[in-house]
Amino acid sequence: MNALSQDVSASAAGSRLPALNDWVAQVAALTRPDSIRWCDGSDAESEALVAKMQADGTLLPLNADTHPNSWLHRSHPDDVARVEHLTFVCTSEQDDAGPNNHWMAPADGHAQMDALFDGCMQGRTMYVVPYCMGPIDSPLARCGVEITDSPYVVANMGIMTRMGAQALARIEREGTFVKGLHSIGELDPNRRYIMHFPEELTIKSFGSGYGGNALLGKKCHALRIASHQAKSEGWLAEHMLILGIENPQGETHYVAAAFPSACGKTNLAMLIPPEGYRSAGWKVWTIGDDICWMRPGADGRLYAINPEAGFFGVAPGTSAKSNPNALKSIQRNTIFTNVGVTADNQPWWEGLDNGQVPVTDWRGEAYDAAKRPAAHPNSRFTVSAKQCPSYSEKAEDAQGVPISAIVFGGRRASLVPLVFEARDWTHGVLVGAAMGSETTAAATGAVGVMRRDPMAMKPFCGYNFADYFSHWLSFDNGAAQLPKVFHVNWFRKSDEGKFLWPGFGDNLRVLEWMIGRVKGEAGAVETPIGHLPAVTDLNLDGVELSDEGKDKLFGFDQGAWQAEFASIGEYLDEYGPRMPQALKDEQQRIARLLAG
C-alpha cells in the first residue's frame, strides 16, 4: 500500500479542486491501480499512449502510405455493441426512471458496482481524463471526468471530446463535473454493467471496452445524464445530427435530425448535394452527426451545439457512393475498431466497394465469407470532426446555431411516406414520441424488428419518457419561436422489397422542401397525419420514380394509419398517469380524423 499511497498523494497535484482530488483518491483506494496518470490532452501524451498500445497489441498499425497515423483495434468478440439489457438508471424513485429504463435503487447500484471495481485495476494504470462536451468556452457545454484503466478509451476520448488541460481548468472554475468510472474488468459478459446515477451526475461502467459502453462522455454523459440535467435546467439533450443547408442566395438554415443508430445519421450529416444542386450553389455543412444539445436563446429560437469533437461512425456501408465525405475524413489519423484488413494492411468493410478484398476478418482470423463478415456489422471509426470536408467552423460557435427544423425518422419499409410536416409543436412532439424503426446492429438483439423509439432516445433517455415528453411540450410557452417539425422515411420499399427513394444526396430535395415550408414558400397537402408534399412540390429533376413510388412516397393509406394510431395510443398508455394529457389528446384528435 505504500507505493499506492505515494501515487495517490502525487496525483493530488493534478487538480486545484479538492472535490476532484478526493474522488480520484477514493477510486484509487477502491480499484488499487499500480499507477495514476492525469491526462493533459497533449500530443506527447497521445503519442506515448499509442506507443504503449502498439507495444501490447491493443492497436495495430495500418498501411502508413494509404492511411497515415491510423490504427486497428480488435475488441473481445463478446464486446461489440451497446448492452441495453445491462444498462441501468438508478434514481431514488423507480417511477422517475420510467418503464423505458432498467432501474435499480442507487444504494444497490453502487454496492453492486463497487464490488466489481474492488481491486480491478491492480497491475494497470488508472487514467484520469478531464473532458468538455461542447466548445470549451460555450455556456451550453458541460464537463466531466472519466477514470478508466483503458488506454484505448483515453485515445478515443481524446478524439471525441475536448480533453485535457483546458477542460480541467474549466472544471476547476465551475467546481462541478460529471463523474464517470470505467474499467474493462475481465471483459466477462456476465460481469458487465453500465449504471447511471443522474441525481448524483455519476456513471459507473464495468466489463466492456466497446465505445458506447466505455467512452463515458458519449451516450452515458451526453444523453443519459445530460437529458436529466437538461430537464432540470430548461434545455434538450438529443440523439440528433446537426447540419447546415446553404442555398444559392447565401442563406444557411440549420436542421437537427433524430434517427436510431445505423439509420443514416452520419450520411445525412455529411450529405453531398446532387450535381444540379451543386451547380446552382447549394452547400451542406456538417455541425455534428450524433448528438445535439439545444437551448432557447434570447430571441426565443432554439440554439444547438454538438457536444462531441469527433465521429464514432459505423464503418460498414460507408463508401464513395454512400458517404464520400465520411470516407475522405477517415484516410488519416483514425482509429478503426473491428474492421477487416487487406493484404497490404488497409482497413476494409462490407460496402466499401473499392475493388479490394480482405484477407483477415475483424477477429484477426483468415477471412472466410461463409464463416463471418470481414468487418463486424457494428464496426466503427473514430476520427476528429475537423477532418470532414464539409465540417463547419460553426461547430465551435460558443452560442450554437439556430435551428430552423427538427426532423424525426427511422427505417419503415411500409406505411410511412417520404416526408410530412407536423401541424404544430404538440403534433410534432407526438410524431417524435410515436417514432418507430426496424432495429439495427448497433444494439445487441434481433435485427429488423419494428420497435417504438421515441425521438431515437429509447436507449438513451435518462428518466421517465412521460416526463421527457412533458419537458418537450413545455417549450411551447408562447414566447418561443420553435422550429417546424418533420418526419422522414428514406427506407420505404416497393411490393418487391426494393427501396423506392434513391436516398443519399437526393435527400437534399426533401430538405429543400422543408426549408421552403419554414419560409412559407413551399406547397403541401393537408392530411390527418400532417402536411405532405405533392409530387410536384419537390424538385425531382433527374430522379426517376415509378407510379408505385410516387403513390407510396407521397400518399398515405388511411386504413393502415388508423391501425397505426391505435397502436400509438396503446403505446402512450404504457407510461401510465405521468403521460401528458396533451399528447394523448393529440393522438385521439388524429385518430378521430382518420376514422372520419
Q: Is 263 annotated as a binding residue?
A: yes
- What is the chain's length? 596
Q: How many Cβ atoms from other residues are within 10 Å of residue 420's Cβ?
A: 23
Residues 285 and 271: beta-carbon distance below 8 Å:
no
For residue 427, is pLDDT > 60? yes
The beta strands (E) that lie in 392-550 are given as 401-409, 419-421, 436-438, 450-452, 484-488, 525-527, 530-532
Q: How far apart are the first and last CA of the chain?
A: 76
For residue 8, is pLDDT > 80? no
Q: Is 211 annotated as a binding residue?
A: yes
pLDDT of the residue at 448: 65
pLDDT of the residue at 450: 77
pLDDT in tens, 218-259: 999 999 999 999 999 999 999 999 999 999 999 999 999 999
Q: Is 364 annotated as a binding residue?
A: no
pLDDT in tens, 133-158: 999 999 999 999 999 999 999 999 99
Q: Is 183 annotated as a binding residue?
A: no
pLDDT of the residue at 12: 37
User: Which cell goes with 154?
Assistant: 483515453
pLDDT of the residue at 81: 87
Residues 269 and 242: beta-carbon distance below 8 Å:
yes
In the 8-state DSSP scheme, what is residue 595?
Answer: H
Residues 333 and 383: beta-carbon distance below 8 Å:
yes
pLDDT band at residue 1 using 50, 70 and 90 as cut-offs = very low
Candidates 409, 559, 440, 411; CA nearest to 499 is 411
For residue 454, is pLDDT > 50? yes
pLDDT band at residue 195 using 50, 70 and 90 as cut-offs = very high
pLDDT of the residue at 495: 95
Q: Residue with C-alpha cell 424503426?
A: 437
Q: Is 219 annotated as a binding residue?
A: yes
pLDDT of the residue at 248: 97
Active site amino acids? 263
Q: How far is CA 106 from CA 109, 179, 434, in A?
A: 5, 15, 30
pLDDT of the residue at 444: 58
Q: Residue with C-alpha cell 456476465?
A: 190
pLDDT band at residue 442 using 50, 70 and 90 as cut-offs = low
pLDDT of the residue at 441: 56
For residue 10, is pLDDT > 50? no
Taking residues 191-201, report their average pLDDT: 98
CATH fold group of domain 2-58+86-234:
Phosphoenolpyruvate Carboxykinase; domain 1 (3.40.449)
Q: Is 505 annotated as a binding residue?
A: yes
Taking residues 387-400, report their average pLDDT: 98
Q: 101-105, 108-112, 319-323, 394-398: lowest mean pLDDT where?
A: 319-323
pLDDT of the residue at 264: 84
Q: How many CA atoms lie within 13 A of 91 on its CB side?
A: 19
For residues 243 and 570, what is the distance between their CA atoms, to the nearest angstrom? 34
| Average pLDDT value over all residues in the chain | 95
pLDDT of the residue at 261: 72
Taking residues 284-292, report their average pLDDT: 97
Cα–chain center distance at 235? 17
pLDDT of the residue at 437: 83
Sign of CA dihedral 448, 451, 453, 458: negative
Q: Is 504 annotated as a binding residue?
A: yes
Q: 113-122, 253-262, 535-544: lowest mean pLDDT where?
A: 253-262
- Would 2-58+86-234 and 311-387 be classified into the same CATH topology? no
Q: Is 379 annotated as a binding residue?
A: yes
- How would you classify the pairing of strands 484-488 and 401-409? parallel
For residue 572, is pLDDT > 60? yes
Q: Is 265 annotated as a binding residue?
A: yes
The beta strands (E) that lie in 21-139 are given as 35-38, 60-61, 71-73, 87-89, 102-103, 125-133
pLDDT of the residue at 277: 98
User: Which cell goes with 300?
Assistant: 426565443
For residues 471 and 237, what is the distance between their CA atoms, to the nearest angstrom? 11
For residues 82 and 189, what is the distance between their CA atoms, to the nearest angstrom? 12
For residue 4, is pLDDT > 60? no
pLDDT band at residue 342 using 50, 70 and 90 as cut-offs = very high
Element (H, E) at 342: strand 340-342
Q: How far is CA 540 from CA 30, 186, 502, 534, in A?
A: 62, 55, 11, 11
Taking residues 160-188, report their average pLDDT: 97
Q: Is 261 annotated as a binding residue?
A: yes
Q: What percent of the chain has pLDDT over 90?
A: 92
Candidates 57, 13, 26; CA nearest to 147 is 26
pLDDT of the residue at 9: 33
pLDDT band at residue 443 using 50, 70 and 90 as cut-offs = low
Q: What percent of the chain has pLDDT over 70?
A: 96
User: Domain residues of the chain, as ranges?
Assistant: 2-58+86-234, 237-309+392-595, 311-387
For residues 2 and 309, what is the distance between their CA atoms, to the nearest angstrom? 39
Q: Is 290 annotated as a binding residue?
A: yes
Q: Is 267 annotated as a binding residue?
A: yes
For residue 14, is pLDDT > 90? no
The residue type at 358? P
CATH fold group of domain 237-309+392-595:
Phosphoenolpyruvate Carboxykinase; domain 3 (3.90.228)
pLDDT of the residue at 445: 63
User: Which cell goes with 256?
Assistant: 437537427
Element (H, E) at 347: strand 347-348
CATH fold group of domain 311-387:
Phosphoenolpyruvate Carboxykinase; domain 2 (2.170.8)
Q: How many Cβ atoms from other residues are within 10 Å of residue 524's Cβ?
A: 17
Taking residues 327-336, report their average pLDDT: 98
- Work out the burial of residue 275: count CB atoms within 10 Å of its CB; fewer than 13 is exposed, 13-18 middle, 19 or more buried: exposed
The beta strands (E) that lie in 198-288 are given as 202-206, 236-238, 240-246, 252-258, 283-288
Q: Is 210 annotated as a binding residue?
A: yes
Q: Is 56 annotated as a binding residue?
A: no
